[in-house]
Amino acid sequence: MKRRRRDRLGDILSYAFMALMFVFFSWPLIWLLSMALRTRKEVFLGVARLIPKSPTLDNFVAVLTSSQFLVYLVNALKLSCLSAVGCLIVAAPAAYAFSRFDFKGKGLWMLGILAFQMISPLVIMVPLYRYMSRLGLIDGHFGTTMVYIALGVPVVTWLLKGYMDGIPRSLDEAALIDGCSRLSVFVRIILPLSTPGVASAFIITVIAGWSQFLVPFLLITKDSLVPIGVGIFQYAGTQNASTIQILAAACLISVVPAIVAFLALQRLILSAMTAGAVKG
């Protein structure tokens, strides 16, 4: 009886907290939507017109017809997904080694990898550009993807190592005694068990890639190859062009594909996470 009452109190507190957080995270987006639906005349009416009197989709039409927004979105999706997959392929074996092997200088190696992350891409930009142009990797998605991967690897390695640490070593050992090779232990046992970690690492890299700005800004100049992070900046850029409501529509369009992907993927991610939890 007492327990049930406490649970109910907990539920109420949970709801209150979730509501508060929801308001915090959604208010800017609601405001953005409200702006994007307004006509030029209503833009300056503030909160009083949160729901516009004559909502219009013209702003979205203007964004989508006057620029290559769809192309930017596809480019961003391609770059971020490819680099996320690449990141996992590169980082997972290293994470396994860091989690399972004891070797000299392990801590240094891990810190060294993380140190890459600590160097601001800002200053790397200039030498990076000079280097990539010498390699002939300017204005293509390959070079950009590889740099995204290099940028994402440290985080992914660290995260995956963390998850793999949580998988009991006894499982590896049993398999090794059964005559499995290290590689097959990694592929058959560790990887499937780290699905939750892999899933969250994947999301994290996709999103990091999605909002990349400096690297593609520097390495890509062809408009047909530019991803959304740069595209929206170019769109907002021209002195004569920007008007709040159209900019709002542009910002909103830049996140829509990600929202759709999330909603679609959420089930997948969730089931992966829970599956991992049960097994672990």
Partner 1 sequence: MSASAARRKPSILGASGRQNRLPSPYPWLMPVILVMGLFYLYPVIDVFRYAFTDLTLLGGEGHYTLSTFGNVLRRPELAQILWVTFVFTAGSVIGQQVIGLAIALVVVRAEKRRLFGTTILRTTALVAWVVPGIAGGIIWKMLFNEAPFGGLNSLLRLMGMAPVQWLSDPDIAMWSVVLSNIWRGTAFSMVVMYAALKAIDPTLYEAAEMDGATARQKLAFVTLPQLRPAILVNMILITIQTLNTFDAIIALSGGGPGRATEVLSLYTFNVVFRNYDLAAGSVLSILMLAISLGLALVYAAFLPKEDRS
Partner 2 sequence: MKTTLFTALAAATALGCLPAIAEDLITSDRVGPSDAPNKMVFRMTGDGPSSTDPTWAAGYTKLYTDFINNHPGWQLELQMMTGDISQEQARMLEQAKAGHAPDCAAVDSFVLPLFKAAGVLKSLSPYFSKEEIAELFPFVRDGVTGKDGQIYAWWWSTDLRVLYRNTEIVPDAPETWADAKAAALASVKAGMEGMLFNGSRYEGTTFDWLGNFWGQGGKLVDEAGKPVFADAANRDKFVKAVDYYRDLVESGAAPKRVATIGNYDDFNAAATAGSTALFVGGNWQYRQLQNAMEPEEFAKWSFSMLPGITADQRSTGTGGWTVAAFSSDPKKVEMCAALTREVYMGPANALQEQLPTRADLYDKYDVFKSEANQTFAKALKVGEARPGVLVYPEISNQIQIMMGKVLTGAESTEAAVDEAFKASLDAYARL
59 touching partner 1, by CB under 8 A: no
Choosing from 2, 51, 127, 240, the residue that interacts with partner 1 (CB under 8 A) is: 127
User: Which residue's CB is nearer to partner 2, number 170 or number 238?
Assistant: 238
Choosing from 119, 130, 135, 178, the residue that interacts with partner 2 (CB under 8 A) is: 130
176 touching partner 2, by CB under 8 A: no
Q: Which stretch binds partner 2 (CB under 8 A): 26-34, 36-44, 91-99, 182-190?
A: 36-44
198-227: contacts with partner 1 (CB under 8 A): 199-200, 203-204, 207, 210-211, 213-214
168 touching partner 1, by CB under 8 A: yes
Amino acid in the structure at residue 117: Q
260 touching partner 1, by CB under 8 A: no
172 touching partner 1, by CB under 8 A: yes
66 touching partner 2, by CB under 8 A: yes
95-124: contacts with partner 2 (CB under 8 A): none
Residue (of 217, 263, 250, 268) closest to 68 by Cα position: 250
Sign of the four-CA dihedral 156, 157, 162, 164: positive
51 touching partner 1, by CB under 8 A: no
45 touching partner 1, by CB under 8 A: yes
Q: Which stretch binds partner 2 (CB under 8 A): 7-15, 69-77, 158-166, 176-184?
A: 69-77
**Least spacing, CB of residue 78 vs partner 2, in Å:** 9
Site residues (vs partner 2, CB under 8 A): 40-41, 43-45, 62, 66-68, 70-71, 73-74, 77, 81, 84-85, 126, 129-130, 133-134, 138-139, 199, 202, 206, 217-218, 221-224, 230, 233-234, 236-244, 246, 256-257, 260-261, 264-265, 268
